[in-house]
Structure 1
């Protein structure tokens, strides 16, 4: 495995729980309360089509369970605001000529060398004169550490006012960012940080002396306009993280734009988003003038190393019997089983447990912390089978998973095959080039129509499988 393909650095911004009791005294600690993840509230099941995935919760979950930088094979595409300007990238943090205390903080976080996104983004973030940046970066690629490094480099501690402002969609995501800044700035005791989140009690009319403020849009807007704690014209670096989640959350888009309008034209703007749909692009172009742009070239997800099959069944009981036959015959390290609804996931997990299987259950009524704990147990091998709804279809990498079962085939609101969800589900097997298996349970004529739709979309044949035929099963593993 090459260093380009995989970094051994530990990405602390994607790690587990915050310990608020160990927060350094030089930092203004956030209140110990929770802000609503999404004003829209999207935990319920809709029309029998399974659980709707909350983008903010999914992002937080990824950050909590990620213990290392993800291996990203996507090529980075850089579009410069000034095409005539030389394009710089770095291979080591030493090339950035950071303050020794800050470089020490980077190594304290466990970073040995810049990740793919950091190689290209950091020279732009730290450039003089300042450059604006729009960057596409998924969870686990080191982008939080990158803009945290930029903010810490930017601070002039002789100035006793807020110089760097970062907004995130939720309380929890803001705390995750703050933790990275705290740990990276461990050896910069004069740099002070405040949290602009719901519940933070501040003295009115007194200007903040903290150099960096991390918060959610509503509270940050209040601090800038209602309470006058921050002078927006003195902000020299503005970071907007999780832009795709931000504009999907009620009110946050307009609040972010109102904050942006108060900043000076000289303020450096950095915007990050995991996805770049049209709505995100329009928002980014409105907030970030004359930007440099870093995009991930879309990589065609391959199914070459995942063998796909379907099993004909009459009802859920026959599906369960087929599943037990398969699991008893296949050589499986760990398996993920996807269901359409929480009710089905609960029933299946209980049935498998009765059969003596070590089963973990993951669904949307759990808190993010509970879900992270379940995934940790599954990743460590304490449970061999993970039964889940769509909350676990994207972005969760467990290298030992060799079997994915669609106990219920994924469908969209019109009842057609949901090809994107299907791809993300079966992609949980066959990680990092290893061989994987995907088994689809089909129980009626409509199920077969869904299989045909999936075959046509991916131009792949899905073979019929008899789970009671041991000879057939031994052949599929050859």
Structure 2
């Protein structure tokens, strides 16, 4: 859209290592994301806990809207006001150019959260909104559409401001806006991200600015490129990631304080924990609220077992017995360290299995490519660390194996990670199996602690060498 736009390319080839590249005004492309390689023995705690990385992985692999059975709960600022929802984009009375852009992106009808959120975001007079929405539910497209609809192209100044917690996520949002605004050439977009140096003493003419909190704050206060008094729509994306990133929370609040009281505030978050609520209350006055009604977590479709083993070779033998006895579409196997994951993947490949390996030292685009291949069935077994314990839905997964039990940094049972891990199977009402490898008294204590946690069902003992016992599982 703008001549100063960044060009983003995700290079995902079957036989090569993918990377994310960025180029600016013809400069030499360079990798955006790289991590120091830690010792192989290092537990992969960081991989599962980096919310920004996980969010970017989800954005890269979810090219279509995810299936979501959760109902939407709408809490209106004014309960007496009629509640509107839409079943088609035509009902929103978009401009022909913008409607053409929406359909050109492959959106046939609004997603579940878009049905309720878009009428609020496009309402006159403007309404503030707090919305819960995971990656893949159409959230980015929704607020991108709202910003594009909001712009007055006659005004050559910044009117819509969107901040995101990381450089890479900001680029992803900008890519959606550029695609959706393909047929709106008069709408210009600028990126308030590191490396995009602007001349002092000028005012931006781009109507939409997407950026990270630190750079956007500098553009508003230090360099005076943006007049905060002229911002009429403010979007804060990934609020839960934002407040988990040092400094971003305070920078976001400082940006918010520069804006007028009449500025429309839109906040999105994947979770609504107490810390997110406190943050939202400071940024979004008198909001409408859209939440996903979460069905009560149930593990009724997942049978859980533990297997007594002596060492990793015994674990591997039990795994082979298990895989040979059950009818398994796809399996996910979780290890505690990258070294163990690499060893196990090699052993399984030697046994003739189609295996994918995923761990935290991989770049984000590499992880996305591995998950994409697994989802497409090109590999039947995914060996991974905690990097894949959350947010990845593969319907065909019927077996989850905790080759190493999930523990926290203190070595205690990590109940939340256990739930996320075994929740990769038994999706959409299908039957699934979760098997835990126990190789010590300490491991047995962890299994008992998990079992005693109020949410979980009984974890039964399993002898994988007993063919009669194994045959009962497939009935």
Contact (CA 8 Å) 2:10, 2:20: kept in 1 or not?
no
Aligned partner (choices 292, 298, 302) of residue 296 of structure 1: 292
SS in 2 for 1:76: strand
Please state how far the C-alpha of 1:140 moved relative to its aligned partner: 0.8
Please state how far the C-alpha of 1:297 moved relative to its aligned partner: 2.1
Map of 2:306 onto structure 1 = 310
Q: 1:137 to 1:235 in 2, by over 3 A?
A: same
1:411 aligns with 2:407: yes
Please state how far the C-alpha of 1:17 moved relative to its aligned partner: 6.1
Contact (CA 8 Å) 1:101, 1:188: kept in 2 or not?
yes
1:76-106 Cα distance to aligned partner (Å, 9 max, x none): 1111111221111111111111111111111
1:95-127 Cα distance to aligned partner (Å, 9 max, x none): 111111111111111111111111111111000
What is the rounded CA distance, in whole Å, between the counterparts of 1:102 and 1:263 in structure 2? 27
Contact (CA 8 Å) 1:408, 1:441: kept in 2 or not?
yes
1:280 aligns with 2:279: no
Q: 1:421 to 1:449 in 2, by over 3 A?
A: same
Map of 1:173 onto structure 2 = 169
Map of 1:7 onto structure 2 = none
Contact (CA 8 Å) 1:43, 1:364: kept in 2 or not?
no
Counting only pairs closer than 5 Å after superposition, residues 375-390 of structure 1 correspond to structure 2 as 375-390=371-386
Aligned partner (choices 165, 182, 187) of residue 191 of structure 1: 187
Q: Is there any run of 5+ residues in structure 1 with no aligned partner, and where?
A: 1-14
1:241-279 Cα distance to aligned partner (Å, 9 max, x none): 001101111111111111111111111000000011111
SS in 2 for 1:114: coil
Aligned partner (choices 433, 440, 446) of residue 436 of structure 2: 440
TM-score (normalised: structure 2): 0.91
What is the rounded CA distance, in whole Å, between the counterparts of 2:191 and 2:385 in structure 1? 34
What is the rounded CA distance, in whole Å, between the counterparts of 2:232 and 2:126 in structure 1? 9
RMSD of equivalent CA atoms: 2.6
Map of 2:221 onto structure 1 = 225
Counting only pairs closer than 5 Å after superposition, residues 429-468 of structure 1 correspond to structure 2 as 429-457=425-453, 458-468=455-465
Map of 2:116 onto structure 1 = 120
Please state how far the C-alpha of 1:30 moved relative to its aligned partner: 11
What is the rounded CA distance, in whole Å, between the counterparts of 1:465 and 1:406 in structure 2? 14
More deviation, 296-305/420-429: 296-305
Counting only pairs closer than 5 Å after superposition, residues 243-258 of structure 1 correspond to structure 2 as 243-258=239-254
What is the rounded CA distance, in whole Å, between the counterparts of 1:298 and 1:348 in structure 2? 35
Q: 1:473 to 1:46 in 2, by over 3 A?
A: closer
SS in 1 for 2:331: strand
Q: 1:410 to 1:438 in 2, by over 3 A?
A: same
Q: 1:127 to 1:217 in 2, by over 3 A?
A: same
Counting only pairs closer than 5 Å after superposition, residues 281-360 of structure 1 correspond to structure 2 as 281-360=277-356
SS in 1 for 2:319: helix
Q: 1:68 to 1:464 in 2, by over 3 A?
A: same
Please state how far the C-alpha of 1:180 moved relative to its aligned partner: 0.7
TM-score (normalised: structure 1): 0.91
1:327-374 Cα distance to aligned partner (Å, 9 max, x none): 122211111000111121112112222222221111111100111111
Map of 1:271 onto structure 2 = 267
Map of 1:76 onto structure 2 = 72
1:184-241 Cα distance to aligned partner (Å, 9 max, x none): 1111111111111100122221111111110111111111111111111101000000
What is the rounded CA distance, in whole Å, between the counterparts of 1:252 and 1:66 in structure 2? 26
Contact (CA 8 Å) 1:417, 1:454: kept in 2 or not?
yes
Q: 1:162 to 1:50 in 2, by over 3 A?
A: closer
Map of 1:204 onto structure 2 = 200
Please state how far the C-alpha of 1:49 moved relative to its aligned partner: 7.2
Number of residues of Structure 1 aligned to a counterpart in Structure 2: 459
Please state how far the C-alpha of 1:397 moved relative to its aligned partner: 1.2
